[in-house]
Chain A
Amino acid sequence: MEEKQSEVKLFGTWASGYCTRVVLALKAKGIPYRYIEEDLKNKSELFLRYNPVHKKVPLLLHNGRPVSESLIILEYIDEYWNHSPKILPDDPYKRAKVRFWADFYDRKLKEGTVAIMTSRGKEKEKAIEGFLELLKVFEEGIAKDFPEKLTFSNSQPLDFLDIIVGSSACNYEAYNEAVAVVVDPKRNPLFFQWMTALKECPLMKESLPPHDKLVAKMKSFQSRSV
């Protein structure tokens, strides 16, 4: 493995699953980096200079060149530092499958968790129902395309789907407590099994935000978005 002279900075916020994704990828690859916590209500000059259009976290700054969007940052990390462990599979068809499911997860499920938090009463019930239907679709899809996820052991290196999904779904206990029970072993046994195994990964354990702090943050976000 050749040593690449590089300076890596990551602008993020501690509660954001999207930022945790990048942390996991950098750590998994053994890439040294400097983490900068951004205050989104008071964005730093450096952050805005390199991120004038997007203005969102995470932002990766590598040798002064910015990369935005967590899924894109992960592909960038895997391509630039193409030593093992590989985050995406080598086979183009498998790569297409992980990209499909990552996109589905972000557009349908992650959006769904926000919709639940920002709705009330009947709307909230409908949002939860909708979310659970999509979770079933996701679970069945992963079971078909990536059956090895269902027997995940924490001695395996984390890959694209583990990082994308685990970075937020491993916080299900905080979400269940603060918002609504959406991940439970009876309804989604396979997904639950994957997440509980993933949670025990040393890398995941050290990178996820602390439970109580996250619960408080989620409760506050919910009450602000009436």
Chain B
Amino acid sequence: MEEVKLLGFWSSPFVYRVKWALKHKDVKYEYLEEDLWNKKSDLLLRSNPVQKRVPVLLHDGKPIAESIVILEYIEEMWPHNPLLPQDPHERAMARYWMKFGEDKAPILLGFYLNFGEEQEKNVKEAKELLKILEKHGLGENKFFGGDEIGLVDFAFGWIACWLEVMEEAVGVKLSEAESLPRLHEWIENFKKVPLIKENTPDRDRMLSFYKQRREQRRESFISSRAS
């Protein structure tokens, strides 16, 4: 019998990518919540000694770390209900946009992670990146995956379900519907997909969590400036 475990954290969009993929493929798994700030489990530290972070997938005891790597693994192990195109060039394009999201994450999340001038710079650049994503990544498609959702949609799921909560927590708007109409259409379509609708963290809990984390970051920022 195959045993699949997922080590995660309740608010992490990286963890949700993996949850969505497993559920899309009807793979039964055991979810284990990690107490990331207080005490990481021995299992996590043993399974991901290099990065010590979630998500980690354990398949028959064998650990796989890094959400995009896990997504590709799930797609290969359980090829039914495919989440990547068959054509090698289209697969390369899907991988390009997933990598784009990972590489640009520090800038895209800069509005939440940073303060002052650096935050302003990040916000300006992030708006440009979202325009590029909308024009070249999404194009005229309903989803990044085409007519149906795919791995790229899961990878950008944080823009659909997390971004506006974080914007509210910080008091900064990154993505206006008027300037990114196609992306906002995608957000609405993505959130309506039953798999996604039934599997996102509680909004109120997220809001108070991100507000709290933002304050903690602000305190660190101020004290690091003072020293």
Residue in A closest to B99 when the chains form the complex, CB atoms: A69
User: Is B30 in the interface zone, CB < 8 Å from A?
Assistant: no
Q: How far is the CA of A52 from the CA of B65 in the complex (A)?
A: 32
CA–CA, A79 and B72, complex, Å: 14
Instruction: Determine the chain A residues whose CB is within 8 A of the CB of B62 once the complex forms.
Output: 93
With A96-B70, A137-B50 as given contacts, are A75 and B76 in contact (CB-CB < 8 Å)?
A: no
In the complex, identify which listed stretch (A7-15, A17-25, A98-106) lies at the interface while the others stay far away.
A98-106
Bound Cα distance A52, B64 (Å)? 34
How many chain B residues touch A (CB < 8 A): the figure is 22
With A69-B99, A96-B73, A137-B50 known to touch, is A75 a contact of B92 (CB < 8 Å)? yes
A141's nearest neighbour on chain B, judged by CB, is: B50
Interface size on A, residues (CB 8 A): 25
Decide yes or no: A73 and B92 within 8 Å by CB, A53-B132, A92-B73, A93-B73 being known contacts.
yes
Q: Which residues of B contact A71 (CB under 8 A)?
A: 99
- What mask results when residues 42 to 70 of chain B are scored 1 for a CB within 8 Å of chain A, else 0? 00000000100000000100101110111
Give CA–CA (A62, B50) in the complex, Å: 37
Which A residues lie within 8 Å of B39 (CB)? none
Q: Which residues of A contact B91 (CB under 8 A)?
A: 75-76, 79
Q: Which parts of A33-49 form the interface with B (CB within 8 Å)?
A: none
Task: Determine whether A65 belongs to the interface, using a CB cutoff of 8 Å to chain B.
Answer: yes
Interface 0/1 of A63-80, CB less than 8 Å to B: 001011101110110011
Whether the pair B77, A53 counts as a contact (CB closer than 8 A) is no
> 1/0 per position for A82-97, CB-CB distance to B under 8 A?
0000000000110110
| Cross-chain pairs A/B with CB under 8 angstroms, 24 sampled | A52-B136, A54-B96, A67-B89, A69-B96, A73-B92, A75-B95, A79-B88, A80-B88, A92-B73, A92-B77, A93-B59, A93-B62, A93-B73, A95-B72, A95-B76, A96-B70, A96-B73, A99-B66, A99-B72, A100-B64, A100-B65, A100-B66, A100-B69, A137-B50
Going nearest first, the 8 A-B pairs with the smallest beta carbon separation are A92-B76, A79-B88, A76-B92, A96-B73, A80-B88, A96-B64, A67-B92, A72-B95
Binding site for B on A (CB under 8 A): 52-54, 62, 65, 67-69, 71-73, 75-76, 79-80, 92-93, 95-96, 99-100, 103-104, 137, 141
